[in-house]
A and B are shown apart, each in its own frame.
Chain A
Amino acid sequence: KAGVTQTPRYLIKTRGQQVTLSCSPISGHRSVSWYQQTPGQGLQFLFEYFSETQRNKGNFPGRFSGRQFSNSRSEMNVSTLELGDSALYLCASSLGQGASSGNTIYFGEGSWLTVV
């Protein structure tokens, strides 16, 4: 069974531009969450979507947004890019919300964003 798929894998953007990253969760998974990883801050939670609704949000500015479609695929958008947005953006999926024995979170390979 295919894992979490993220596109694009690498991209370079200029300050002030906006970017959209895409994530296809594992088949049957309904919860999709996004994380940002930088050398200085480590892995940080951005937001989580379940049934097309944002259920939880981390401590990031409003420039970071996302959405989830009816097929559970998700996109995240970053507007007015800043140099500090350069990071590995990770998408993760799970069957449902919450921690239970069968509700493990699985990660994709990530999208490397470089802002110049």
Chain B
Amino acid sequence: DAKTTQPPSMDCAEGRAANLPCNHSTISGNEYVYWYRQIHSQGPQYIIHGLKNNETNEMASLIITEDRKSSTLILPHATLRDTAVYYCIVRLRGGSGGSNYKLTFGKGTLLTVNP
């Protein structure tokens, strides 16, 4: 799986948009970008994923650059409950075999939403 690079920490004011960057410059055409977050002492929570188009769901938006070498997770109106470690992960697309059966977590970004 391609490696990702994320800033170790970020701050955001409550009610403002939180923009979390991720660099995945070695991503291949067959790899998805996934975002998870983990609130202290809980299991990772799936947020969103994409291949090459921008994606939006009820939790967040995912913006992937045209060359796919980086992406940004956007939480449009951050709340205190969004304080968590956010993980950007790339995962090989396809069927069984290879390394696409698992998620390889890095250290993620600790997002702190301040009142």
Contact = CB atoms under 8 A, between A and B. Distances in A.
B91 interface: yes
Contacts of B21: none
Given A42-B107, A55-B96, A104-B49, A97 B43 contact: no
A43 to B, nearest CB: 4
Chain A interface main SS type: strand
A53 B92 CA distance: 22
Chain B interface main SS type: loop
B101 A33 contact: yes
B94 interface: yes
A45 B96 contact: no
B45 interface: yes
16 contacts: A35-B103, A42-B105, A43-B105, A45-B103, A55-B96, A56-B101, A58-B102, A97-B95, A98-B94, A98-B95, A98-B100, A100-B93, A105-B46, A107-B44, A109-B42, A109-B43
Interface of A: 4, 31, 33, 35, 42-45, 48, 50, 55-56, 58, 88, 90, 92, 96-101, 104-110, 112
Interface of B: 32, 34, 36, 41-46, 49, 51, 91-97, 100-107
